[in-house]
Structure 1
Amino acid sequence: MKKILLSFGMVALLLGACQQGPVRYTQNSPEIETVKKLIANYDSKNYDTSMYADTSKTYYNTNDDALSPSEAMDYHRQSEVNYASRGFGNEHQEYEMVVTDDGETWVNSWLEWGCTLAANGKEISVPVHLTFQFVDGKIVKEYGYWDPTEIVLELQKIEAEAKMMEEEQTE
């Protein structure tokens, strides 16, 4: 009898250990769909802030200087003058949603961003990591990380060439 009770106890313990808890990682969620819509809006130059909480903070390549949702959209609008075209490609896009040990919901994305510079037609491709914290279906924090070096150097080169040509014309 002792062996039967012990066997039942072990089976119950194993079944209890196999029960699924709440989903902590997924590649399909409403939050991921929100991020995909945000990316599509960016690509179509639709600067909609309705996905963000009013108090949301956006950090691009920094941990200190936060932008409000409208300031983040202005940042994108202002950079438009540099590009004949720009946007995220359809390939090499990865999205995941995780719920942290503290219960925070984050969507991480790894994307390929590309542009054609307006001044010289040079095409540049940059890997980008974006991560978004969600509360009640709204983005409350966004962090974006990418290496802008190639674009900055190319824009500086274009500016230097324009300045040299201007100086030559004034001589």
Structure 2
Amino acid sequence: MKTIKFFGLLFVSFLTLLSCKEQPTRYTQSSPEIDTLKAAIAAYEAGDWEGYQTHYADTAKIYHNTTDKFLSATDNANAFKESTAQYSSYGFIKDEGDSEMVVTDDGETWVNYWGVWQGTLSANNQSYKMPVHLTAQFADGKIIKEYAYYDRTPIVLAQMEMQAAQEEAGMEEDAAMETPSN
């Protein structure tokens, strides 16, 4: 009977040791992948489009405010280069962002970033803020897929108002030139 109790206790101890085995990290706020996404953001803020692209796999698919039309890292860098040219300053507000890395049940590694972007349009010297959410999937240390969500409506409306004002000023100028002087 003592032998059965001994083996029973040994079996329970063995199961306890197995359950204490270190599990892989499923959630963290500190990882090389988080550092990579932050480096891509820093390159974006610096206008370092070559450096920006180095954080993405050659086959990366980048979806911004869409789920069906993606850009490559090169095409996205070119789009950013064009869109940021209209700002006298732009970037993410320091200390107003947060990042986390998660490993899904399927073993996929994703980094989520929440931040507040701020930019000043050169044309009207107005500053705009918008919340941004990025989520990026990683493989072999590179971003292979990225989704970004943000609302540019206030900026687009301001640009439309400025364009309408320019067109109106142009029409008034044309009308003044057509008026005969007596």
* 1:25-83: CA deviation from partner (whole Å, max 9, x where unpaired): 11111111111111111111001211111111110000111101110001101112321
* 1:88-114: CA deviation from partner (whole Å, max 9, x where unpaired): 111211111111111111111111100
- Paired amino acid for 2:45: D
Answer whether contact 1:129 1:145 (CA < 8 A) is retained.
Answer: yes
Give how far 1:85 is off.
1.1
Give how far 1:10 is off.
3.8
Instruction: Output aligned runs, 1:85-96, within 5 Å.
Output: 85-96=89-100
TM-score of the aligned structures, taking structure 2 as reference length: 0.87
Corresponding pairs, count: 171
* 1:99-133: CA deviation from partner (whole Å, max 9, x where unpaired): 11111111111111000111111111011011111
Counterpart of 1:82 in structure 2 is 86
Answer whether contact 1:24 1:98 (CA < 8 A) is retained.
Answer: yes
Across the aligned residues of Structure 1 and Structure 2, the Cα RMSD in angstroms comes to 1.5
Runs of 4+ aligned residues of structure 1 deviating over 6 Å after TM superposition are none
State which drifts further: 9-18 or 146-155.
9-18
Gaps of 5+ in 2: 176-182
Counterpart of 1:70 in structure 2 is 74
What SS does the aligned partner of 1:142 have?
strand
Separation of aligned partners in 2, 1:160 and 1:11: 77
What SS does the aligned partner of 1:20 have?
coil
TM-score of the aligned structures, taking structure 1 as reference length: 0.92
Answer whether contact 1:113 1:127 (CA < 8 A) is retained.
Answer: yes
Instruction: Output aligned runs, 1:13-24, within 5 Å.
Output: 13-24=15-26
The structure 2 residue matched to 1:142, chosen from 135, 139, 146, is 146
The structure 2 residue matched to 1:127, chosen from 119, 125, 131, is 131
Separation of aligned partners in 2, 1:157 and 1:16: 66
The structure 1 residue matched to 2:31, chosen from 13, 22, 29, is 29
The structure 1 residue matched to 2:114, chosen from 93, 107, 110, is 110
Matched residues, percent identical?
44
Counterpart of 1:101 in structure 2 is 105
Separation of aligned partners in 1, 2:46 and 2:105: 36
What SS does the aligned partner of 1:35 have?
helix
Structure showing greater Rg: 2
The structure 2 residue matched to 1:47, chosen from 25, 46, 49, is 49
